[in-house]
Amino acid sequence: MLALALGGANAVPAQSAPSALTPITGWGTNPTNLDLQAYVPSKLAAKPAIILALHYCGGSGPAYSQMTKYNSLADSKGFVVLYPGQKKDNNCWDVATTKTLTRDGGGDSTGLANIIKWAITKYNADPTKVFVTGSSSGCMMSNVMAATYPDLVAAVSCYSGVAAGCLAGSPGSSPQSADPTCANGKNVKTAAQWTATVKAMYPSYNGTYPRFLTWHGEADNFVHYANLAEQLKEWSGVLEVTFTKNNTNTPQSGYTQLVYGDGTKLVGYSARGVGHTVPVHEDADLKWFGI
């Protein structure tokens, strides 16, 4: 279900990081023993933005930093990039257990939230400019973070994942351990049902949820393309927006932009001929984040 995203015809070429990442320890309560590395540019903006970048299954924070251009963009724009790492279940983020699918439940989501809180203080960051992104397993976890910690996350842009709660109750979150129903695109719910799933993760929350952008390849049979529709149903319900229009060949030939509402809260991208995973579109991410 969760691909080793560096493999295959749609792999993203490795990028040269401008400089080494900094290993971070002592950032707070860490119930699932995550590790953390950060990229902090030499010229940090006043009240910088933070991007939490979540690796694919089988990956690591440093590996994800090498396959994206976020570090070089951080050099020019002065934001901080956080690269946490999960070492269990084939290095896949837990998106299945009650602990991680519950606000302050003691799962991976709790550890990631503590990383965000630590970083806001450490870097004197703008708490209204915290963003989450990721590929494959990292996109799945991005969905979960938007559901469990919506007050910490302003916006998400992620690639080739599944809706928050899609894997709930699965024995694991990796290709080797998971119930394949979700990855195969067969966990189908209505927008109302998905909304109830999200709201159950943080029942007392009455605030706004993150703006959501999600990308998926039409030729993805590993995390099936049908999961794009389920994500869009989920977040259209949560964000209370309905489908408006398609924009073809946007942002490039073969991609279709699916716009909900006025396009400021929810957008999807469908990539014709693209498998697992959709290449990272860093410039589009930063535009969505407002950086």
CA distance 113 to 28: 10
Beta strands at 35-39 and 80-85: parallel, antiparallel or unpaired? antiparallel
Q: How far is CA 54 from CA 222, 240, 267, in A?
A: 19, 27, 20
CA distances from 161 to 31, 60, 90 (A): 24, 17, 17
Residue type (1 letter), 33: N
Question: CA 164 to CA 232: how far, in whole Å?
Answer: 11
Which of 60, 65, 109, 136 is labelled catalytic?
136
Task: Name the DSSP letter for residue 134.
Answer: E
- Spell out the residues 6+ positions from residue 200 whose beta carbon is closer than 8 angstroms to its own: none
Cα separation, 162 vs 216, whole angstroms: 10
Q: Order of strands, edge to edge, in the sheet holding 255-260?
A: 22-24, 35-39, 80-85, 50-54, 130-135, 155-159, 211-217, 266-271, 255-260, 243-248
Is 174 catalytic? The answer is: no
Residues annotated as catalytic are: 136
